[in-house]
Structure 1
Amino acid sequence: MSNFLSEHLIHRDDEFMVIHKPAGILTVPGKTADLQDCVMSRLVKIEPRTLLIHRLDRDTSGILVFALTKWAQKQISRQFQERQTDKTYQALVAGQLQGEGTVDVPVVYDPAHPPLHIADATHNKPALTHWRALEQFELQGQIVTRVQLTPITGRSHQLRVHMQYLGHPIIGDTLYATPEQQQLMPRLCLHAAELSFLHPQTEQRVQFTCPVPF
């Protein structure tokens, strides 16, 4: 357990630390006893000052920031809330997608099919994602596209729902991809690759990257 921090640490200073979250582990504890193991609980055992700022879905990997002071938690959280952070994800999606574009469709929880979310143009809370195709290649006989995704808003499941809405679900997505697309990779191919924000003390922009594992 004590190796978790050393194995996944990207950056640490007096105010915050940046972690590479592996796929398959929750950011914070779930509601049931079998979902208590998470990044937060592992970090608190090693560094009791650890404070939550934002989250990634369990099956998404990549950059997570945790505060080490209340001041840093307040300042960085505010930047997330006010969309002053720059976040870039990479994903592998089904099919051939070329060029770049924007998906501007609200994403809302679907109470009839938990835990699914759906694209619903009639909803009043916007969800906005910019996408750019990077390359196409073959995976187990299927054409897939590597895309760069930039979420402007931060709705739950936003990137996953928006890619499904485009007709190009994320490979390995057990909620939004077809069974065939799920089988192409053993994990959800969605990764938080880059993040930048203003340092809570120096107010200088800091940028962090995390290599894409697929």
Structure 2
Amino acid sequence: MTPEEIQARLLYRDGLMLILDKPAGIAVHGGPGSRHGADNLERYFEHLRFGLPRPPALAHRLDRDTSGCLVLGRHPKALRKLGLLFQDGRIGKTYWAVVRGGPEGDAGTIDKALLKRTDARRGWKMIALPPGTPEAQEAVTDWRVMGRGSLPKIGDLAWLELHPHTGRTHQIRAHCAAMGCPVLGDPVYGGRYEAEPLHLHSRAISVPVYTTKPAVAVTAPVPPHLREALAACGWTGEG
């Protein structure tokens, strides 16, 4: 990725933070679990210094195949402040997902604790369990149906808007699967549907980083790989 390409993905910039439109298919950092030599966004943060002595750093994470709003802190003080906001659940997060089938009803809340399970052959995944399960982490997600439709060779679909109250690993993916409607293209929670790209997008974020100003609210454009399925569910390309 060239300096111009990473800078073109900026959705917001001020003295404390940057909000980036993360592309799907690239990890946000190298990490111990990444493939050897795999590309990652942190390699390009040097191009986002904008005069500061060091590059920005991740204030939170998105999965490799999830697109959309990604918050970076521009210096250690900003990262500490953003970290507390995320930890306290004060940052508003809106995701769009296209799921197979669809939930019963038009809106609701899923309250399922998540526990990481490892399989020697298949690797790890998050298991959705009843609230209060020992060792599992509390996880709560509000959802509503924005539209329903279908596509040839895929079948029935639903377009969901989701608001996670917590920020657990794979939370939305595991919660959608627990409702019986996994995210389209999810190779971990969607079983036999691994051939398609993951249809999960961090659509918008609201960050109350300044005590005397309104929260910084940013929306990420819909990426090309979601548009066909969203249109099938009634999305008009607006908003």
**Does 201-210 or 164-173 show the bigger shift?**
201-210
The alpha-carbon deviation at position 49 of structure 1 amounts to: 2.4
Q: Distance in 1 between matches of 2:214 and 2:37?
A: 37
- Provide the residue aligned with 2:144 in structure 1: 132
Any idea what the Cα deviations from partners look like across 1:134-172, whole Å, max 9, x if unmatched? 101112241100000110011111110110000000000
Match of 2:163 in 1: 150
User: 5+ residue gaps in structure 2?
Assistant: 227-239
Distance 2:81 2:212 in 1: 12
Aligned to 2:14: 13
Query: CA distance change for structure 1 residues 125 and 30 in 2, over 3 Å: closer, same or farther?
Result: closer
1:83 equivalent in structure 2: 89
What is aligned with 2:221?
Answer: 211
Q: Would you say the 8 A contact 1:23–1:59 is kept in 2?
A: yes
SS of aligned partner of 1:110:
strand
Determine which of 188, 192, 198 is the counterpart of 1:188.
Answer: 198
Range with greater deviation from structure 2 (86-95 or 10-19): 10-19
Q: Which range is displaced more, 79-88 or 64-73? A: 64-73
Give the SS at the match of 1:182: coil
Shift of the alpha carbon at 1:36?
Answer: 4.7
| Kept after mapping to 2: 8 A contact 1:30/1:36 | no
Matched residue, 1:109: 116
| Contact 1:119–1:162 under 8 Å retained in 2 | yes
Aligned mates of 1:139, 1:194 — CA distance in 2: 26
Aligned-pair identity (%): 31
Q: CA RMSD in A?
A: 1.8
Query: Does 1:23 pair with 2:24?
Result: yes
Query: Are residues 150 and 33 of structure 1, via their aligned partners in 2, closer, same or farther at CA, if it must alter by over 3 Å?
Result: closer
User: For residues 170-189 of structure 1, what are the structure 2 equivalents within 5 Å?
Assistant: 170-179=183-192, 181-183=193-195, 186-189=196-199
Contact 1:90 1:212 in 2 (8 A): no
CA deviations 1:172-208 (Å, max 9, x no partner) are 00101031x334xx31000000100113475531100
Contact 2:21 2:67 in 1 (8 A): yes
| Greater Cα shift, 113-122 or 168-177 | 113-122
TM-score w.r.t. the length of structure 1 is 0.91
The secondary structure found in structure 2 opposite 1:56 is coil
Aligned residue in 2 for 1:100 = 107
Contact 1:133/1:146 (8 A) holds in 2: yes
1:57 aligns to what SS in structure 2? Answer: coil
Q: Which moved more, 1:90-99 or 1:129-138?
A: 90-99
In the alignment, is residue 119 of structure 1 matched against residue 128 of structure 2?
Answer: yes
Q: From the superposition, tell whether residues 212 and 13 of structure 1 become closer, same or farther in structure 2 (CA, over 3 Å).
A: same
Stretches of structure 1 lacking an aligned partner (at least 5 in a row): none
